Every structure is written in structure tokens, then in C-alpha cells.
């Protein structure tokens, strides 16, 4: 699954138990020239098709009977860690959002988003980005401000970070771009990029959004000391 793959050449697998939505979305994507390899109503059948087709993106409903979206996501990531998965749901609940990011989704999208926005989100996911619906920016903001989830692991997930990486992670948690971080620390943009890659590798996450979420959940700020 090449990162530069064009959306019109991509394969999408849709797993959603709501028949009208499933059929409508399948038709919408096909009219945009996007190849929907299958659209199924339950997680068990969806898992079999993931194994068969290895689609570029799995669009996955959160709430489903028997095998819900979380369970499907866990199974997919266990068998195929690099498989791109995007939750497509009605849930704007911060617990669902953060839990999905923790479990490795590349997208958390809402079913009431505009079709054009969905297509753009799919393109970004194919390009290797982690996409969160713009309507949920306030949820992430609440977490950053310390009004989100209260639970945090007992182990220190930042133990392997160097002091510089720890400092940069704190700036990522504040939403700063690589250029701004480089300017604030007086280092080159390329140096920041290398540090960010090292941070993602050591935290075992696939995007700077997920790293920032981990940081703010642990109360990390740019001025924090280890």
C-alpha cells in the first residue's frame, strides 16, 4: 500500500450495520471513482474480507451488534498492524475518540460530514496522515486543557526519550508546527523532523497527533521536567 497511492486507485472496505447509510456511502464513493471492494454489515464478515482483499482503507462503524468497531479494530491491528483504519461514526464522545486513537486508527470521522470533506480525509489518510473530524477539535482542546480523560497508565511511556525529545514532545502537545519548534529552540527544521520521528518510534505511535494526545493525557507541557 504505497503512501502516494491516488485515491481513485485505492480500495475501500466499508463495515457498517446500517443498511441505508452503507448503501448510500458505497454509491457516493463509487460515483467519485473510488473502488469499494465490499460493503458489509458486521465485523466478522468484515474481518474475513480484510484478510481477502487487504484494502487500502477500512471504513469502520463504531456501534455494531455482536462485534463492535473497537473489537474489529483490535483484531485488524493485531493481524495487520499497517492496515489503515478509519472510524466513521456518529459518536463525538471524547472517550471513543481517544480510545480509537490509542488503538491505532488513522482517522476518526463523523457520519454527518460533507462528502467532499470525507474524500479529502481519505486522501490524507492514504498520504499517511492521521485525520480527526474538524467538528471534534473542541474535544481534543478539552483534553489539552486538562479537562479530558482522567486515567493514565502507571508506567512512564516517556522513559526512553532524551531531554531534547521530551522538550519537543511538550511543544507538539501545545500544537506547535516543526517550523515553530525549530524557531523556538534555535535548531534546523530537519533536526526537528528527525527528533519527531524518534519520538514516534519510541512511543510506538504512528502520528504526531497520537503523540500529542499521549502527552496531554499525562499532563506534559513544554516546561515539564522528567
The domain spans of the chain are 7-137, 163-217
pLDDT in tens, 148-191: 554 444 467 787 888 888 889 988 888 888 899 999 898 998 99
DSSP conformation class of 108: E
Cα(160)–Cα(166) distance, rounded to whole angstroms? 9
CATH code of the region 163-217: 1.10.10.10
Q: What is the CATH number of domain 7-137?
A: 3.40.50.2300
pLDDT-derived band of residue 87, with 50, 70 and 90 as boundaries?
Answer: very high
Q: Convert the pLDDT of each residue in 27-62 to its tens digit.
A: 999 988 899 999 999 988 999 999 999 999 999 998
What count of other Cβ atoms lies within 10 Å of the Cβ of residue 74?
12
**For the segment 64-79, what is each residue's pLDDT rounded down to a tens digit?**
877 888 889 999 999 9
Q: Which helix (H) or strand (E) holds 208?
A: helix 208-217
Rounded CA-CA distance 141/184 in Å is 22
Cβ(168)–Cβ(181) under 8 Å?
yes
> How many residues are there in the chain?
226
**Whole-model pTM above 0.85?**
no
Q: Which residues pair with 107 in a beta bridge?
A: 86, 131
Mean pLDDT over 7-12 rounds to 83
Amino acid at each position: 500500500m504505497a503512501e502516494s497511492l491516488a485515491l481513485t486507485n485505492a480500495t475501500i472496505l466499508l463495515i457498517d450495520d446500517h443498511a441505508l447509510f452503507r448503501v448510500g456511502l458505497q454509491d457516493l464513493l463509487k460515483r467519485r471513482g473510488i473502488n469499494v471492494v465490499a460493503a458489509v454489515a458486521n465485523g466478522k464478515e468484515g474481518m474475513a474480507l480484510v484478510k481477502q482483499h487487504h484494502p487500502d482503507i477500512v471504513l469502520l462503524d463504531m456501534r455494531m451488534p455482536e462485534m463492535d468497531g473497537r473489537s474489529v479494530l483490535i483484531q485488524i491491528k493485531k493481524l495487520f498492524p499497517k492496515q489503515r483504519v478509519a472510524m466513521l461514526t456518529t459518536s463525538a464522545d471524547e472517550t471513543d475518540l481517544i480510545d480509537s486513537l490509542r488503538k491505532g486508527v488513522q482517522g476518526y470521522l463523523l457520519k454527518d460530514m460533507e462528502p467532499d470533506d470525507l474524500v479529502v480525509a481519505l486522501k490524507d489518510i492514504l498520504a499517511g496522515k492521521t485525520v480527526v473530524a474538524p467538528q471534534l477539535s473542541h474535544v481534543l482542546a478539552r483534553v489539552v486543557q486538562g479537562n479530558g480523560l482522567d486515567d493514565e497508565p502507571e508506567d512512564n511511556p516517556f522513559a526512553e526519550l532524551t531531554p531534547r525529545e521530551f522538550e519537543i514532545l511538550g511543544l507538539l502537545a501545545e500544537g506547535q508546527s516543526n517550523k515553530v519548534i525549530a524557531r523556538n529552540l534555535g535548531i534546523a527544521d530537519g533536526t526537528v523532523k528527525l527528533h519527531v520521528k524518534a519520538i514516534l518510534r519510541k512511543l510506538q505511535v504512528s502520528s504526531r497527533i497520537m503523540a500529542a494526545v499521549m502527552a496531554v493525557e499525562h499532563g506534559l507541557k513544554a516546561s515539564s521536567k522528567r
